[in-house]
């Protein structure tokens, strides 16, 4: 496909996402199925255009003075992709497969490329209703912080120290042009390329052998902040596909015992293969059998550490999942808040005296972080917050100086720590 045809295709996919309010990945998959002539490079390039347009949807539409998929895409070519008006005009030739030529008004808008007078939620590309929450956390930095969240994320991997050292993995993957992650001592990174596409790490023999896992640097650090030690008894209560479980197992050097569970058996299912590939031997997977089963009820009062990687809005991952930021609604936040209280209360019963809950979200919204913990602490006076500065000090070198401390936890952000927006708090049982 010629580049102009990819632009037309991206506009078509954006229209589908908009009209049917569906996830970007579903719309892209359908487009691929109905355009089988498109090769894998074409599909990847179209996906990258679509995700970029979703990252900058509000500001690109403002710049163009319209909210159509075409306007959003053209505006994004100017802002995030840095194309000048002539380069965009050359793509919009009106030839077969190419978008219609630019109108005089579009040309003018693209030339001015002005966001003057744009409100914060437009300049920072986020839904207007979350602005008060974001301002509570970010204050006057809301625009630069959220612009960083509306940029592309790098592809990060964690080297699995049960199988390889970082240097060794780096050498083996030298053809991917990776760099060491600035903070995590276990991470390697492929910075985002000019067209936003990353390498297919899963196809590498080192991935198949379990030397590396795909995991954002912030998620690697969140696991480190748990302070797990190799003799400990740990429950990973919201283990899902096992991203954090695998990181904890490696930090514990296959020692101690981790019980991994999740209320959703389907989400938990991939963990078995991943544990095997990673050479993990200290994890017992406890799968719930039916809705009312509690597969860890025999562990109550016995755990040194209970990890709660809580269900949340995912507002800290909007760089990677930009379509979700436009789908999140106040009622979905309300549902997540209820789930967070349920899971925290369940965690509290598993902790032994002197043990701790490690509460993690990938969200910037204080409702899901400090406020959720305040509500929990009121119901559970036997727990106290470990001072966030002490939690940050458990992180890698340079982390404590960069991370934002809140009343009850540490908050990573793309701007401050160069990671996804993870929040971590540690609650100790007296
Ligand atoms: C953020 S995801 C976990 C991601 C996972 N830890 C990882 O690192 O890949 C949150 C998980 O919490 C689970 N969950 C929600 N409510 C729960 C509950 N009451 N008890 C246990 N798990 C729950 C969801 O099914 C979901 O898999």
Residue 192's pLDDT is: 84
The interface predicted TM-score of the complex, written ipTM, equals 0.99
Q: What is the average pLDDT across 241-266?
A: 98
Separation of CA 310 and ligand 1 centre (Å)? 6
The pocket around ligand 1, CB under 6 angstroms, is made up of 237-244, 262-264, 267, 309, 311, 339, 342-343
Q: Does residue 327 register a pLDDT over 80?
A: yes
Separation of CA 241 and ligand 1 centre (Å)? 9
Q: How confident is the model at residue 195 (pLDDT cuts 50, 70, 90)?
A: confident
Fold match between domain 3-118 and domain 223-429: no
Pocket test residue of 239, 240, 294 for ligand 1, highest count of atoms within 8 A of CB: 240
What number does the ligand 1 atom closest to the CA of 264 have? 25
Question: Over 266-312, what HEC string results?
Answer: HHHCCHHHHHHHCCCCCEEEECCCCCCCCCCHHHCCCEEEEEEECCC
Is 42 marked as binding a ligand? no
Q: Does residue 49 register a pLDDT over 90?
A: yes
Q: How confident is the model at residue 75 (pLDDT cuts 50, 70, 90)?
A: very high
Q: Does residue 191 register a pLDDT over 90?
A: no
Q: Does residue 51 register a pLDDT over 90?
A: yes
Residue 44, Cβ neighbours under 10 Å: how many?
18
Residue position matching structure tokens 């293969």: 273
What number does the ligand 1 atom closest to the CA of 239 have? 6
Residue 198's pLDDT is: 82
Residue 256's pLDDT is: 98
What number does the ligand 1 atom closest to the CA of 360 have? 1
Pocket test residue of 225, 263, 317 for ligand 1, highest count of atoms within 8 A of CB: 263
Measured over all CA atoms, what is the biggest interatomic distance in the chain, rounded to whole angstroms?
Answer: 72
Q: What is the average pLDDT across 103-122?
A: 96
Separation of CA 261 and ligand 1 centre (Å)? 8
What fold is seen in the domain 223-429? Rossmann fold (3.40.50)
Residue 407's pLDDT is: 98
| CA-nearest residue, atom 25 of ligand 1 | 264
- Burial category of 341 from C-beta neighbours within 10 Å (exposed 0-12, middle 13-18, buried 19 and up): middle
User: Domain residues of the chain, as ranges?
Assistant: 3-118, 223-429
Is 273 marked as binding a ligand? no
pLDDT tens for each residue of 199-237: 889 999 999 999 999 999 999 999 999 999 999 999 999
Could you give the residue numbers annotated as active site?
362
Separation of CA 144 and ligand 1 centre (Å)? 30
Q: What is the average pLDDT across 3-19?
A: 96
Q: What is the average pLDDT across 74-93?
A: 96
Cβ atoms of 161 and 211 closer than 8 Å = no
Pocket test residue of 218, 238, 261 for ligand 1, highest count of atoms within 8 A of CB: 238
| CA-nearest residue, atom 7 of ligand 1 | 243
Q: Calculate what percentage of the chain has a pLDDT beyond 70.
A: 100
What number does the ligand 1 atom closest to the CA of 312 have? 1
The answer regarding whether domain 3-118 maps to CATH 2.30.30 reads no
Q: Does residue 194 register a pLDDT over 90?
A: no
Residue 86's pLDDT is: 97
Q: How confident is the model at residue 279 (pLDDT cuts 50, 70, 90)?
A: very high
| CA-nearest residue, atom 10 of ligand 1 | 311
Separation of CA 238 and ligand 1 centre (Å)? 3
């Amino acid at each position: 496909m010629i580049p102009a045809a990819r632009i037309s295709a991206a506009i078509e996919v954006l229209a589908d996402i908009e009209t049917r309010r569906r996830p970007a990945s579903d719309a892209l998959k359908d487009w691929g199925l109905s355009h089988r002539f498109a090769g894998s490079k074409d599909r990847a390039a179209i996906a990258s255009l679509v995700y970029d347009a979703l990252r900058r949807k509000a500001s690109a539409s403002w710049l163009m003075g319209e909210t159509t998929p075409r306007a959003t895409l053209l505006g994004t070519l100017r802002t995030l992709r840095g194309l000048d008006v002539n380069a965009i005009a050359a793509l919009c030739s009106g030839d077969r497969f190419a978008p219609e030529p630019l109108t005089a008004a579009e040309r003018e808008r693209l030339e001015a490329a002005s966001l003057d007078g744009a409100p914060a939620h437009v300049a920072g590309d986020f839904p207007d209703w979350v602005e008060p929450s974001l301002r509570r956390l970010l204050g006057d930095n809301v625009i630069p912080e959220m612009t960083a969240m509306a940029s592309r994320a790098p592809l990060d991997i964690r080297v699995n120290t049960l199988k390889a050292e970082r240097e060794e993995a780096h050498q083996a993957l030298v053809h991917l042009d990776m760099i060491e992650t600035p903070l995590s001592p276990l991470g390697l990174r492929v910075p985002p390329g000019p067209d936003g596409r990353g390498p297919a790490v899963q196809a590498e023999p080192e991935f198949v052998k379990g030397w590396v896992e795909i995991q954002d640097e912030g998620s690697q650090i969140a696991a480190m902040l748990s302070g797990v030690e190799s003799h400990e008894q740990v429950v990973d209560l919201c283990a899902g596909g096992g991203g954090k479980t695998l990181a904890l197992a490696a930090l514990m050097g296959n020692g101690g015992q981790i019980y991994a569970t999740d209320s959703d058996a389907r989400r938990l299912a991939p963990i078995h293969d991943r544990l095997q590939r990673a050479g993990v031997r200290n994890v017992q997977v406890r799968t719930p059998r039916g809705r009312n089963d509690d597969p860890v009820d025999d562990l109550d009062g016995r755990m040194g550490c209970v990890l709660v990687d809580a269900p949340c809005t995912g507002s800290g991952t909007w760089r990677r999942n930009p379509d979700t930021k436009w789908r999140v609604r106040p009622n979905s936040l309300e549902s997540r808040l209820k789930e967070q209280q349920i899971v925290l209360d369940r965690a509290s019963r598993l902790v032994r005296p002197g043990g701790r809950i490690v509460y993690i979200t990938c969200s910037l919204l204080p409702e899901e972080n400090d406020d959720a913990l305040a509500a929990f602490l009121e119901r559970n006076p036997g727990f106290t917050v470990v001072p966030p500065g002490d939690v940050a000090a458990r992180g890698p070198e340079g982390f404590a100086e960069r991370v934002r401390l809140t009343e009850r936890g540490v908050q990573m952000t793309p701007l401050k720590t160069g990671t996804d927006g993870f929040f971590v708090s540690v609650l100790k049982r007296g």
